[in-house]
Structure 1
Amino acid sequence: MPSPGIISPVRRIGRREFDFERQIAIMAIVNRTPNSFHDQGRTYELDRAVAAAVKAVDDGADWVDIGGFAFSAAQAQIGAEEEIERVVPVIAEVRAATDAVISVDTHRAAVAQAAIEAGADVINDTNGLREPGIAEVAAEAGVTVIVTHSLGGPGRRVFRPSYSDVVSEVAGFLRERVSFALKAGIAADRIIIDPGHDLNKNTFHSLELTRRLEEITAIGYPTLVALSNKDFIGETLDRPQGERTEGTIAANVLSIVKGARILRVHDVAAAVASVRMTEAVLGWRGPIAPSHNLA
């Protein structure tokens, strides 16, 4: 399989090193929100959020993504202080328990700053660094940023999102925001991109993004895909939230073949098994327990 031509493929993120030419990173989702679309608040309590993060790492996750404010517009708005109160204690406890990469899922500069001070290695911004000051916070701290496409950003309603060509428009947005990040002083080897499946996009948009993902990975930065249990999978297969694991695995594997290098997932054990198998088939790793019987 041809290389996607990744800028600085060998990267030190937090305390771990990744070779994105031949390695997939598994990012586990831990939402400390009462209304997250998949877990519906099951990890809202601090002890449950920390336990979920530690279990995810034990199950093979390389990375834990901690969020305190959902993307959906169907929620009560909260201020930066409340978001900080949700994420910082989780980050601090998880940082003390593991060397895994920790990202904070936020679009606010104040939350990003507090999270970094608590031990976060990455800012995962579904608003594409459009909040004033957030790029400067990242640049000054030297942390990695994930630049994600969305039309409205977290908590903002977009009715019937439409695109002339969703892939071209998403790619154009990501190129522009990467340019902004570089001008703000964020190093090229600290930038990751995410096309934002289902973020202000309908099922047909997300399927098209997956089908033509090479056009996103061709931008050159490691590409994250956040497909796990999303509505485009549910609508494609007519499956409720709890029955989308197989569809998620299929979409993730296809995305790897098309150049994705980081998977944001709920079901860590299933994702790890499917990714290790995919890496082996692509010739990036050997079998974990090969038989010595050649007969």
Structure 2
Amino acid sequence: MWLRSGEKGLDLSVAQVMGILNVTPDSFSDGGKFKQLDTALKRALEMVEQGATIIDVGGESTRPGAPDVSVDEELARVVPIIEKIKEYSDCWISIDTSKAPVMLASVQAGASMINDVCALQNAGALQAAADANVPVCLMHMQGAPRTMQSAPRYANLCLDVKTFLEQRVEACLQAGIKKDHIILDLGFGFGKTMDHNFALLNATHEFVALGYPVLTGLSRKSMFAQLLNRPLSERLAASLAGAMIAVQQGSKIIRVHDVSATMDVINVLNKVNSFNK
């Protein structure tokens, strides 16, 4: 299975790692650390050196309670770093945004894919993604980012998430987005309780069976804090366990803060799986 964006190809016969680069002052894990262009570029190149094939650039925090960011401010944060990464590396660059103008400007600046936590539901986003003609990741979220964790409930967790994603896939296809440009994300931590998150992780293979690559983002999530009573700085082991389970369940893109350690996990799994071919 290959994911293609223009002349770029990404081999999804093995899991790929997406490194998180938040150029924001307030993201939950690394807000403020990489908002300067030079430190952001250094971090991006470091993650590529460690094995990340995709760098996911985000200019607006989606943590509960985070303030809204204007289009102009988000553009000022993400476009310069996308241009810089493209200047120094041929890695895939993903733009983590829900705003149509940011999607288009980012792709024009060199982004290879769009990663939207709102699954292209915001004004103009669906058409922008179709016009950009790059792969797009559709994420499930119950509610809105600012209030999603207030009281998440589901009649049937997996069926509800699956129905939403299938509806968004159909909307994409109707808008002219290619079937082989669609990626699915179950939205861990976005309108889910701890048990919802772990139940979805256990059922990831059911979403893989829909026929689209699945992206999994579990890195340093609060689900691990709730289960293990670990602060943010002590969630690496749990994040790695989650990544391993996700890959074993069939997830093809693992979105993480800790690239080097995650690559170790994936390389061990790949070595073991090589004996089954």
* TM-score in terms of structure 2 length: 0.95
Equivalent residue number for residue 249 of structure 1 = 240
Is residue 169 of structure 1 aligned with residue 121 of structure 2?
A: no
Q: Residue type matched to 1:43 in 2?
A: F
Once the two structures are superposed, residues 235-274 of structure 1 have per-residue CA deviations (whole angstroms, 9 ceiling, x without a partner) of 1111110111111111111111111010000001001111
Measured after TM superposition, the shift of residue 40 of structure 1 is 3.0
- Matches of 1:77 and 1:271, distance apart in 2: 31
Q: Residue type matched to 1:11 in 2?
A: L
- Matches of 1:15 and 1:54, distance apart in 2: 21
Is residue 222 of structure 1 aligned with residue 216 of structure 2?
A: no
The answer to whether the Cα contact below 8 Å between 1:53 and 1:64 also exists between their aligned partners in 2 is: yes
Alignment of 1:163-242 (within 5 A): 163-242=154-233
Alignment of 1:48-197 (within 5 A): 48-197=39-188
2:17 alignment partner, SS class: strand
- Matches of 1:161 and 1:190, distance apart in 2: 30
The answer to whether the Cα contact below 8 Å between 1:148 and 1:195 also exists between their aligned partners in 2 is: yes
Once the two structures are superposed, residues 206-251 of structure 1 have per-residue CA deviations (whole angstroms, 9 ceiling, x without a partner) of 0010011111111110000000010001211111101111111111
Is residue 41 of structure 1 aligned with residue 32 of structure 2?
A: yes
Measured after TM superposition, the shift of residue 59 of structure 1 is 1.0
Measured after TM superposition, the shift of residue 15 of structure 1 is 5.4
1:282 alignment partner, SS class: helix
- Matches of 2:263 and 2:82, distance apart in 1: 23
- Matches of 2:275 and 2:9, distance apart in 1: 16
Unaligned residue ranges in structure 1 (runs of 5+): 1-8, 287-295
Is residue 19 of structure 1 aligned with residue 11 of structure 2?
A: yes
Q: Which has the larger radius of gyration?
A: 1
The answer to whether the Cα contact below 8 Å between 1:64 and 1:100 also exists between their aligned partners in 2 is: yes
C-alpha RMSD of the superposition: 1.6
- After the TM superposition, list the runs of 4 or more consecutive aligned residues in structure 1 that deviate by more than 6 angstroms: none
Measured after TM superposition, the shift of residue 99 of structure 1 is 0.6
The answer to whether the Cα contact below 8 Å between 2:117 and 2:141 also exists between their aligned partners in 1 is: yes
Q: Residue type matched to 1:132 in 2?
A: A
Measured after TM superposition, the shift of residue 131 of structure 1 is 1.0
Unaligned residue ranges in structure 2 (runs of 5+): none
2:83 alignment partner, SS class: helix
Q: Residue type matched to 1:97 in 2?
A: Y
Once the two structures are superposed, residues 86-142 of structure 1 have per-residue CA deviations (whole angstroms, 9 ceiling, x without a partner) of 100110100111110000000000110111111111110000110122121221221
- Matches of 1:272 and 1:15, distance apart in 2: 25
The answer to whether the Cα contact below 8 Å between 2:3 and 2:180 also exists between their aligned partners in 1 is: yes
Measured after TM superposition, the shift of residue 16 of structure 1 is 4.2
Greater helix proportion? 2
Once the two structures are superposed, residues 155-184 of structure 1 have per-residue CA deviations (whole angstroms, 9 ceiling, x without a partner) of 455521111222111111100001101111
- Matches of 2:3 and 2:66, distance apart in 1: 36
Once the two structures are superposed, residues 48-75 of structure 1 have per-residue CA deviations (whole angstroms, 9 ceiling, x without a partner) of 1111111110111101000000112312
Q: Residue type matched to 2:252 in 1?
A: R
- Matches of 1:159 and 1:58, distance apart in 2: 39
